Amino acid sequence: MPNNVTEVLTYSIHEVVPYVNWLYFFHAWGFQPRFATIAHIHGCDTCRAMWLAGFPEEERAKAAEAMQLLKEANRMLDLLDRDFRVHSVYRLCKANADGDNLLLDGIPLPLLRQQTPQPDGAPFLCLSDFVRPLSSGVTDTVGIFAASCDGEVELLHADDPYKHLLVQTLADRLAEAATEKMHEYVRKVAWGYAKEENLSIPELLKEDFQGIRPAVGYPSLPDQSVNFLLDKLLHMEQIGISLTENGAMYPHATVCGLMFAHPAARYFAVGKIGKDQLEDYAKRRGMAVEEVSRFLAANL
């Protein structure tokens, strides 16, 4: 297994646009999933007219809005492509599970385990379950990553609310798209555990690949302060990312998290945790219970 590999990847915007998940872009603008399908329609007038005609008459005005929004989004992407880039950095760490902690190149990353019983009686999961235990004596690999657009993108069109929101929502999607492209490269080349993978973009966006990529702040990794631990290993400043005193990332169109290769790895929500785990987690983090409680308010 490759370990201690760190690499910065910089993409032009047109390189990552094919990896954009337009469903979430349209969701940010208040459109239901059926309207997001315009992103997959051929751009000729006939195909667009047929797509529009497929909606009930009372929905065609909304569908036409979605069509126009996509047109303006693509026009904005063409403009952004002239001056801006999207950046990612990843690191493949020597890793083992030590109880509910991950050891990443020797640095402990405390994690949380589910405590609420599942309706189907499934086991209580923790992300460390998908990594070889320290007691096995065999070193495993876990990837960590961050991605972001050039920070200046978010400052564009500050005097035009519509264009400003358009740029912001596109920047969010571009950071996620760069992550998708980077993760594909890591699986097939850098880490190489899925060399034979041959997935279409729709299959990638449905996450049909082996392994998972939980991001900080998401249900299985809810503690935003984990960003401080990942930053020690990734040095996110090299791609223009800084952290606030609360662990929030800037620019806002930024994502970071972990990459697991285990075939059985799956996404889950930690959910509500009890006082016992809160105190144990605070101890493992070396933080006061009150401080940890701020970051885990939604889980208490």
The model's pLDDT over 260-286, given as tens digits with 9 standing for 90+, comes to: 999 999 999 999 999 999 999 999 999
Residues of the chain with pLDDT under 50: none
Residue-level pLDDT at 1? 62
CA–CA separation, 265 and 127 (whole Å): 8
CA–CA separation, 28 and 51 (whole Å): 22
237 to 8, 16, 223, 232, 264: CA distances (angstroms): 11, 21, 21, 10, 33
CA–CA separation, 62 and 69 (whole Å): 11
Residue-level pLDDT at 119? 84
CA–CA separation, 184 and 195 (whole Å): 10
Helices (H), 54-160: 60-83
Provide the residue range defining the domain that includes 156. Answer: 5-299
Residue-level pLDDT at 43? 80
User: What does the DSSP 8-state code read for residue 96?
Assistant: E
Domains in the chain, number: 1
CA–CA separation, 122 and 125 (whole Å): 9
The CATH number of residue 263's host domain is: 3.10.196.10
Q: Which residue type, as a one-letter code, is found at position 159? A: D
pTM for the whole structure: 0.94
Cα torsion angle, 126, 127, 129, 134, sign:
negative
